[in-house]
Amino acid sequence: MKDLAGKHLVLTLTGGVACYKAAELCRLLTKAGATVQVVMSAAAEQFITPVTMQALSQLAVRTSQWDAQEPNAMAHINLTRAADAVLVAPCSADFIAKLAHGQADDLPSLLCLARPMDKVPLMLAPAMNREMWAHPATQRNLAQALADGATLLGIGSGEQACGEVGDGRMLEPQQILDAVIAFFQPKLLVGQHVLVTAGPTYEAIDPVRGITNLSSGKMGFAIARAAREAGAEVTLVAGPVHLPTPPGVHRVDVTSASNMLQAVMAQAQAATVFISTAAVADWRPEQAAEQKIKKDGSGQPPALRFVENPDILTTLAQSPRAQCGALFCVGFAAESHDLLANAQAKRQRKGVPLLVGNIGPATFGQDDNALLLVDAHVARELPRNDKLSLARELIADIALRISA
């Protein structure tokens, strides 16, 4: 299922060099299943041609409120009545000012003013020089536009076309796509604070060696993204993985199981849901060597003594907040065999209301997975799918449980 299937978006381009990104954005939106009607201001046509945007959207680009293609001469009315959203990308400082003051002197500003506000949301992806972005007038105008119901998708930072560096860049097309998709996701966890662990841990043997596992962190990161899409405040405690932080998620990086427990306990008091997705090492070397352990020529490996790591899930599940129902705990079990039996046993052992099982060797490092949801009464399978789709299903299941 494409994330934007059935959605009709009005992609509005205003003046700015970031118009070149709108071509890729249009391609990504259509690839995600949306139909895209492009509208361009006269200034936008100085940076990219309507021919390019028409080729990518497969629809005639609209540029004028006096368009003779409209039988009733009311393009500003007709364009938004069938729309699911208006997306302005790039959104210039000048256009933000128009929105704030209700100006309507061209087709883009007219359609934004004439759209049914209760049915057609307005999303903004600003793009301008850093000084223009920081100017009090721009910030004042933006605050007014947001107070009037517009949604700010975010602002990028970095090198700008003028050669300066700072805030004001338009988000990258993939970031805007992700934000649009998130906007349309059901807001099932508004008011909740979700704490998620993800990835492996690394237990040092010496300065250059250690014990870890094959977990990539992809499932945990997908769950953090899905929870944020659902409207929750999300904190992600991540082991040593190289994955981008999901938009809007607060990330805490850790290395070892002890580090992870410390980070989780620091965040747990504010959390209402804890999802223990990380593949935490069960044991660690009793003491890590301060220098690299060398071979001694005997042909025998060094003797290593191991101690058990603290159990993060059990610690949270047995906490007073979890026991009184203020913290809903969800565990994960990465098994190699007998998934149902092992998941049921682990759920009882950990004392959690919900345990999510999967076959570790079949999912570590992969982009898809299959899950088994086990509670005190039943076990429900979520068939193999991409991890983000499964994460959204899991978040929907958790939302139902905590609402009940």
* Residue 162 designated active-site: yes
| Amino acid at residue number 270 | A
- Does the pLDDT value for residue 1 go beyond 80? no
Q: What pTM was estimated for this model as a whole?
A: 0.90
pLDDT band at 302 (very low <50, low <70, confident <90, very high): confident
- Does the pLDDT value for residue 299 go beyond 90? no
What pLDDT shows up at residue 273? 98
Helix (H, G, I), strand (E, B) or coil at 35: strand
pLDDT digits 0-9 by tens, 313-336: 999 999 999 999 999 999 999 888
Active-site residue (options: 26, 162, 324, 329): 162
pLDDT digits 0-9 by tens, 225-283: 999 999 999 999 999 999 999 999 999 999 999 999 999 999 999 999 999 999 999 99
What pLDDT shows up at residue 271? 97
User: Could you tell me how many residues make up the chain?
Assistant: 404
DSSP letters of 249-296?
Answer: -EEEE--SHHHHHHHHHHHHTT-SEEEE-SB--SEEESS--SSPPPP-
* pLDDT mean across residues, the chain: 94
What pLDDT shows up at residue 135? 98
What pLDDT shows up at residue 75? 83
The sheet carrying 8-13 orders its strands as 35-40, 8-13, 85-91, 122-126, 151-152
pLDDT digits 0-9 by tens, 61-118: 999 988 777 777 788 888 999 999 999 999 999 999 999 999 999 999 999 999 999 9
Helix (H) or strand (E) holding 103: none
The alpha carbons of the chain give a radius of gyration, in whole angstroms, of: 25
pLDDT digits 0-9 by tens, 143-188: 999 999 999 999 999 998 889 999 999 999 999 999 999 999 999 9
- Report all structural domains of the chain as residue ranges with CATH numbers, in order of start: 8-184 (3.40.50.1950), 193-403 (3.40.50.10300)
Q: Where are the beta strands (DSSP E) in 136-190?
A: 151-152, 156-159, 165-169
Give 29 or 162, the one with higher predicted confidence.
Answer: 29
